Structures are given as C-alpha cells and as structure tokens.
Amino acid sequence: MRKLKYKDLLSISDLSEEELTYLLEISKLFKGRYYAGERVINVLGGKSVAMIFQKPSTRTRVSFEVAIHQLGGYALYLNWNDLQLGRGETIADTARVLSRYVDGVVARVLKHSDLVELASHSSIPVINALSDLEHPCQTLADLLTIWEKKGRLEGVKITFIGDGGDNVLNSLLLASAKLGIDISIATPVGYEPKEVILKMAESDARKHGSTIEVIREPEVAVRGADVIYTDVWVSMGQEAERARRIADLSKYKVTVDLIKLAKEDVIFMHCLPAKRGEEVVDDVIDGKWSVVWDQAENRLHTQKAVLALLL
Ligand code: CP
Ligand code: NVA
C-alpha cells in the first residue's frame, strides 16, 4: 500500500485526485475482505490511536473504534473535557505529549483552527473526525456508497438541499470537484458555501469540465439528479441560531414530491444524525430511495483505508 503524501487528513484538499481514488479502492478491498469473513487484518500491528471528541458522535466514534480494533490496533476514546485540555492545557502541549504515547490522533473539534494547531504540533498523523469546516471521513464513505450504487463517480450529478455552508457539504463539494462529479446546491440567501471552498472546488471542476451550481430553488436543483443529499439545518455548535436557521431553511426540506422531480433511479443520502421532519421527511429517509444505512456502514470500511494509508 502506498502512503499518502501529507502526514494528516484535515481536509479533502489534503488529497490529490489519485489519492482520493486510491482510498476508495482500498476501502473496497477492506470491505470485500470483511464480507469474506476476514474480521481482523493486522495492518496496524498494535499501534495506538487517541480519539479526542469535543462534540457527541455515534457513527464516527463507533466506526473508528471498531475499525482500529479490526486492523489490529488499540483505540482510546478521550472526551475533550476529561483531558487537561478542558482545564486549559494548550493544544500544542497536548499534541507534543500524545505524540510520545500514540501513533495517531482522530479528533472531532468545534473549531477547525484547533485541529490545524493540533496537527502542526504533533509528530504523528491527525485525522479530522469533523470540525465546523469539514468532515472528510464522511465524504469518503459517501463516495464509496455512490460508486457502489451508481457504478461510477465521474458524470454523476449530486444535488444538495439545505445549508450551503454545511461542513459535510464542504468536504463533499471539494471531493466532487476532484472526481468530475456535477454538484448542484439549493440554498437560501445568506447560506451560500464559503468563497474559499467554492474557489478551490471550481478550479478542480474546470479540469474535468464538471459543473458546480448554487441556486435558490430546490425544484430546479434536483432536475436530473442521481443523488439527493441533505444534512441537518442546525449543526453541533449552532444551537443558539436554531430559530433563525429553521425559519430560513424551511423551504429546503427533502419531501416525496421533491424527490420525484429527480431521475427515476435517484438515491437519497444523509450523513446522519437526521432531524426527521425538518430537513427530510420519514417517507423519504425510510423510503425506496434511501441508502443511508449502507452509507453509515461504509464509514467503517473507508476509515480502515484512511488508517492503513496514514498510519
Ligand atoms: N455522520 C456522523 O459523523 O455521525 P456522528 O456525529 O454520529 O459521528
Ligand atoms: N453538520 C452536522 C454533521 C453531523 C455529522 C454537524 O456538524 O452537526
């Protein structure tokens, strides 16, 4: 297996197009071997991974912990506030100490800049397990799922409905642009993707001749869509803005009527957790279009690839 170019995985922009494709191929390999009954593949050889969480998690925590175990490593779940970090020890000092004990860090943080600081003072790989800016590990599972369901990635059209500044969307947008996936984002005024993310994505999309569109009308955005994707309207850390966000995003709900305007064989995706009744109705997330459970499962397989190639 080839190692990745950078020490860390903080952003999809840390990966080249080839590395992104390679990660998906290795994920498929791990998934195949898992289904063939090979539960433990000892690529970590007893290496230890610290998993620091500043916010709650179900999928990321469990899939990483199980992935590390199934790769022959040892995972330590560390709540941010239970570490001395919670009492004010600096991120830099924490990074220096952890680098002496473990072989890698998986971290979910409120501020992306804290992750960058953690990585810059660590001599070991740091993996983004979600920040306010990005969720690259989620994107890898999303891409593997699309690849499995559609048989290809290039030329697929993803429509994202909801908050254009969403962390999950940022990573999906950057990755789509690298792989020639068309992406259409329906979002209200004031919720457009960050200029810096859009610029990076547009530059990659130009190389493939793929398109990125940011529009207002969900009904227009879903035309010709192979994939409809959404995420919560209120992300972790945005609770104080809840009332305003719900009001602004209320027209950006994925309903059965909306999904029927897309391609006949469209699939519905959501990183989860979902706020049922807000960004998506039960009839969609539980309906024939939904691939959300396969998508959640794929976190396990793609994270194995990340761990194997970084550690
Ligand atoms: N999709 C995802 O990252 O879920 P958790 O917040 O449960 O980890
Ligand atoms: N945008 C959501 C994703 C959760 C996996 C959040 O940050 O809360």
Give me ligand 1 centre to Cα 123, in Å.
27
CA separation, residue 6 to residues 16, 126, 130, 300 (Å): 10, 10, 18, 22
> What does the pLDDT read at residue 2?
87
Residue among 164, 262, 269 nearest 222 (CA):
262
Ligand nearest to the CA of 63: 1
Give me ligand 1 centre to Cα 109, in Å.
13
> What does the pLDDT read at residue 196?
96
Mean pLDDT along residues 16-20: 96
Superfamily of domain 12-134+299-306 in CATH is Aspartate/ornithine carbamoyltransferase (3.40.50.1370)
- Ligand 2 nearest-atom number relative to CA 138: 5
Res 305 pLDDT > 90: yes
Give me ligand 1 centre to Cα 33, in Å.
24
- Helix (H), strand (E) at residue 268: strand 267-270
190 sits in the region (left: phi over 0; alpha: psi -120 to 50; else beta) called left
Mean pLDDT along residues 108-123: 98
Q: What is the CA radius of gyration of the chain?
A: 19
Which residues have CB under 6 Å of ligand 1?
A: 57-60, 130, 138, 271-273
The b-or-e profile of 263-276 (16+ CB within 10 A means b, else e) is eeebbbbbbbebee
CATH of domain 138-296: 3.40.50.1370
Ligand nearest to the CA of 131: 2
Domain assignments of the chain as residue spans, ordered by start = 12-134+299-306, 138-296
Res 180 pLDDT > 90: yes
Mean pLDDT along residues 172-180: 98
CB 271 less than 6 A from any atom of ligand 2? yes
Task: Please state, in angstroms and rounded to a whole number, the distance separating the CA atoms of residues 136 and 82.
Answer: 26
> Sorting pLDDT into bands at 50, 70 and 90, what band is 85?
very high
- Helix (H), strand (E) at residue 159: strand 157-161
Mean pLDDT along residues 83-89: 95
> What does the pLDDT read at residue 253?
98
Share of the chain above pLDDT 70, in %: 100
pTM of the shown model:
0.98
Res 1 pLDDT > 90: no
User: Which residue minimizes the CA distance to atom 7 of ligand 1?
Assistant: 58
CB 167 less than 6 A from any atom of ligand 2? yes
Question: Residue 225 contacts by C-beta under 8 Å, 6 or more apart in sequence?
Answer: 157, 158, 159, 184, 262, 263, 266
Mean pLDDT along residues 145-152: 98
Q: Do domains 12-134+299-306 and 138-296 have the same CATH topology?
A: yes
Q: What is the largest CA-CA distance in the chain?
A: 55
| Residues forming a β-bridge with 280 | 254, 276
Give me ligand 1 centre to Cα 51, in Å.
14
- Ligand 2 nearest-atom number relative to CA 271: 5
209 sits in the region (left: phi over 0; alpha: psi -120 to 50; else beta) called left
- For 235-294, write each residue's pLDDT tens digit: 999 999 999 999 999 999 999 999 999 999 999 999 999 999 999 999 999 999 999 999
